[in-house]
Amino acid sequence: MRVAFLVAPEGVEQVELTEPWKAVKDAGGEPALISTEPGQVQGFNHLDRADTFPIDRTVSASTAGDYDALVLPGGVANPDALRLDAGAVAFVKDFFEAGKPVAAICHAPWTLIEADVVRGRTLTSWPSLRTDLRNAGATWVDEQVNVCTAAPGTLITSRKPEDLNAFCSAFLKEFDS
């Protein structure tokens, strides 16, 4: 199972990248770090700079066809930057058009809203996105993890770092289907 992790060059919530990454590796999968620019991405622990991580490929050199699934880590700045990048938005939309599973945590659904893939779906997120998601046509629920199987493709969402165990367990189950 090849899994793309899409992040902006700066602003990803580190634990929302590293824990799902570890879960994919531990399950025998091949995670790949994708970003809008080559080089490294800067992780954050909330508002404090954390570690940097090397990019495997850029969005412009990647397609949904290269991967079996997509993970969108959160952080406030990360999805905010991604939703302003046309290539990143198209990359996300391509996973849905191909019917491939997508997992998003915390603020990551902002990128999903921009890709116009939440209409008619049920999902969860960081609570401050509730109104944005409803305005985009989604049904928002306050749950540790939500799995929406409305076509096309399965969408697994979660609220926050404290929900990572449930999130990883749910997306691994769906990615393995």
The answer to whether residue 106 is catalytic is yes
The answer to whether residue 46 is catalytic is no
Distance CA(15)–CA(58), nearest Å, equals 21
Active-site position among 46, 106, 148, 168: 106
- Residues near 85 by beta carbon (within 8 Å), at least 6 away in sequence: 8, 36, 59
Active-site position among 46, 107, 148, 168: 107
Give first-to-last CA distance, the chain, whole Å: 11
- Residues near 155 by beta carbon (within 8 Å), at least 6 away in sequence: 101, 102, 103, 104, 112, 117, 121, 123, 147, 148
3-state SS track over 30-93 = EEEEEECCCCEEEEEECCEEEEEEECCEEHHHCCHHHCCEEEECCCCHHHHHHCCCHHHHHHHH
- Residues that are catalytic: 106-107
